Structures are given as C-alpha cells and as structure tokens.
Amino acid sequence: MQIHNKLVRDKIPEIINSEGRTCKTRILDDAEFLDSFNQKLQEELQEYLDSGNVEELADLEEVIRAILDAKNISYSNFENIRKLKVQKRGAFKDKILLESVDE
C-alpha cells in the first residue's frame, strides 16, 4: 500500500479502479480543500520546473482555475485582474532583468 494523501483530479480513483487496483478516498471540507490546493500548486510547479514540459503548465492552469472556483472568482474576473496588472506594471515581454537599485 502506498500512502499519498494528496488532492487528485476527479477521474483518478476511477482510473485506478479500472486498472484492477483499489484506492481509499474521502471528500475534503472547504478549508481542507483550499489548503490542499496550496500543496497541489507547489507540486505542479515543481513538476514543471523539473521537466520544463508544457503539459505541466496545463496542470498548473487547472489548479489555478480550481482555486478560483473554490474562492468564487470567475475566470473572466481573474483575467480582468491580470489585464489591469499588465496595464499598471507591464508584462514580461521585454525580458528585463532588474540587477540592482540604488537607494
């Protein structure tokens, strides 16, 4: 038996069962759910950093969308927040590295 204790996509238990294995699951309450998203976000980010694979970015996007949903923030509202931030502070298109600031 392997212990995982991690948030998984909705169809993972079904996939495990279809492979002839069994798994134990439970439904998280809202507080546990949000806490688990923080761990999942770190996990998916690390997987992307380790592999550089764009598929891992898709996983990050899915976690972000789920966090927004859990916080009752629509993706379009989130996109507006992102656009306002770009408008105020810019994006990352110019590849600028800030080396130092004299005070």
**Per-residue pLDDT tens for 8-33?**
999 999 999 999 999 999 999 988 99
Check residue 65 and give its pLDDT: 95
Query: Nearest CA to 61 among 51, 75, 72, 71?
Result: 75
Q: Which long-range contacts (CB under 8 A, 24 or more apart) does 29-34 make?
A: 30/70, 33/7, 33/70, 34/67, 34/70, 34/71
**Per-residue pLDDT tens for 47-76?**
999 999 999 999 999 999 999 999 999 999
Confidence label for 83 from pLDDT (cuts 50, 70 and 90):
very high
Check residue 79 and give its pLDDT: 97
pTM strictly above 0.85:
no
